[in-house]
Amino acid sequence: MRDTSGPRRGVALHGLAAAVFTLLALSGVGELTGQARGLAVPSVITGAAGALGALALTWLLLRQQAGVRAQRAVRLSMAVAAVAAMGAGVVFAPDGLDRGFVISVSAVLAGALALFALLCGSPQPADRLSSKL
């Protein structure tokens, strides 16, 4: 009998990540019309990319066909979105005293998305890793 606790755990964790990133995106959408546009745009970009990436990886894990190429494509798109979120934070940061704060929050959000992109997905089997070395 095959142990399926690993895929279930991965699906649950990616589902939790999708929920957290969705909440981040929704909080950014709520502030788009307000005065905190410098924080809202990176939040929407980070939240949307993280949620979509986590959902895509969850779907791949549920199909149990989480190919390395498909995972890399999802991870790469999240990394590109992290760079875009950082750029948006710099572009939309207000002038004055709040500029540094907005840029630093954007950097933390982009860093969180990049870290998730690095760590997400299913791990490669040990035999694949050893054959590449």
* Cα gap 13→47, rounded to integer Å: 16
User: Would you say residue 110 has pLDDT above 50?
Assistant: yes
* Cα gap 15→98, rounded to integer Å: 34
pLDDT tens-place string over residues 59-88:
888 876 657 788 889 999 999 999 999 999
Neighbours of 102 (CB within 10 A): 20
What residues contact residue 91 under an 8 Å CB cut-off, 6+ apart? none
Measured at the CA of 69, the angle between CA 65 and CA 72, to 5 degrees, comes to 110
The ranges assigned to domains in the chain are 5-132
User: Would you say residue 123 has pLDDT above 90?
Assistant: no
Residue 126 banded pLDDT, cuts 50, 70, 90: very low
pTM for this predicted structure: 0.82
Contact 70, 59 (CB under 8 A): no
Instruction: Work out whether the CA dihedral 57, 60, 64, 70 comes out positive or negative.
Output: negative
pLDDT tens-place string over residues 40-64:
999 999 999 999 999 998 888 887 6
